[in-house]
Amino acid sequence: KTCPLWNFRMKFQPDPKWEFPRSLLKIEQVLGEGEFGRVLRAKAMNIGGIPGPTTVAVKTLKENACTSELADLLSEYQLLKEAQHPNVIRLLGACTTPPGAPVYLIIEFAEFGSLRNYLRRSRHLESENRIPAPTSLLSTSPINVSEESQCSDNALNYTITPRDILSFAWQISKGMTYLADIKLVHRDLAARNVLLATGRVCKISDFGLTRDVYEDDAYLKRSKGRVPVKWMAPESLADHVYTSKSDVWSFGVLLWELVTLGASPYPGVDVHNLYNLLKAGYRMEKPSNCSQQLYKLMVSCWHQEPGMRPSFKELTSHWERMLEDGV
Ligand code: ACK
């Protein structure tokens, strides 16, 4: 297909405030790729006021990408410039010149990768270390870490207690409160689009519709790109209406992903039937290890009426109270 990328790029005005010299960026490896997009790990010299090399992630397009994918990447660039919060992934710079060269968005590197993969990795560890299945997750006390797992760094980094789950929910709510305050609707909030940085700090990423780098069946192919049906509010599915309240719906699904340590939502439900099921009042049932209190919050995010769903600010207060209560 013809790809008028060149014309498009000619209209784009580089931003000297963020432009980073390509020669100071050393690409090391591919972290992940989708149909059109790719995330690389790289070292950037003297970036963001830090002397010497810093490990960074670089978001770019594959050779087969076209104008609309470039427009998405550049729109993410614009959004990332505006967003500054500890729970939102930080832009460090960009390489957008010369016009013929690939566009690179340089973002902070998240040591543990995506929250979804992190949650799933923690499961294997639990069985390897014979930590009991998280039957008490969020309903009573923390899971005990066995002595042998305490010995290994990996086990420490990948052991998830009920308190960690609450902390993740709290951090993501804080980041989303900030995004809602600056009137930014994410549209694709899901565990795969939250990154986990050193200290297990949650960083919301992948806004601006650059949803291509995750290669799995979470997205349904449609004429207007790939659609994450199982995370979408009914009003988004029916009328393409996206608001912070539809982000709250997605957050409810993310909570379900947290409690199930990264399971795929609506198991066994065909995406084509989902809208009608939701309209008829169907919701995912309470995972067995989930407390009533948490399930109630999850279900409140799935209120049919967007205005009846809690705000991210209210959700943040709930997590704070639960954390104070020492759950
Ligand atoms: O779980 P992962 O290793 O973490 O697999 C995905 C993959 O790239 C495609 O999205 C990883 N990834 C994306 N952005 C970053 C980042 N800023 N830091 C570290 N890993 C990243 C993600």
Tell me, yes or no, if the pTM score tops 0.90: no
Known catalytic residues are 188
140-181 pLDDT per residue, tens? 334 444 444 444 567 778 889 999 999 999 999 999 999 999
Q: Average of pLDDT values for 11-30?
A: 93
Residue type present at position 232: M
State the Cα–Cα distance between residues 293 and 47, nearest whole angstrom.
44
Which residues does ligand 1 sit against, CB inside 6 Å?
31-32, 39, 57, 89, 107, 109-110, 113-114, 117, 195, 213-214
The one-character DSSP state at 295 is H
* 248 pLDDT tier (thresholds 50, 70, 90): very high
State the Cα–Cα distance between residues 36 and 169, nearest whole angstrom.
30
| Residue predicted with more confidence, 273 or 137 | 273
State the Cα–Cα distance between residues 293 and 299, nearest whole angstrom.
10
Distance of CA 13 to the CA centre of its chain: 28
Q: Whose CA is nearest to atom 3 of ligand 1?
A: 113
* Average pLDDT over all residues of the chain: 86
Characterize 237-262 residue by residue with b for buried, 16 or more Cβ atoms within 10 angstroms of its Cβ, and e for exposed: beeeebbbbbbbbbbbbbbbbbbbbb
Distance 22 CA to ligand 1 centre (A): 21
- CB neighbours (10 Å) of residue 28? 12
What's the sign of the alpha-carbon dihedral 302, 304, 308, 312? positive
Nearest to 188 by CA among 165, 204, 170, 164: 204
pLDDT at 93: 98
259-271 pLDDT per residue, tens? 999 999 999 999 9
Whether residue 327 is predicted with pLDDT greater than 80 in this model: the reply is no
The one-character DSSP state at 142 is P
Ligand 1 pocket test, pick from 31, 107, 194, 213 with the greatest ligand atom count within 8 Å of Cβ, gives 31
Length of the chain: 327
Distance 152 CA to ligand 1 centre (A): 24
52-85 pLDDT per residue, tens? 999 999 999 998 888 888 888 998 999 999 899 9
Whether residue 207 is predicted with pLDDT greater than 80 in this model: the reply is no
pLDDT at 124: 77
Distance 148 CA to ligand 1 centre (A): 29
Whether residue 137 is predicted with pLDDT greater than 50 in this model: the reply is no
Q: Give me the percent of the chain exceeding a pLDDT of 90.
A: 67
76-119 pLDDT per residue, tens? 999 999 899 999 999 999 999 998 899 999 999 999 999 999 99
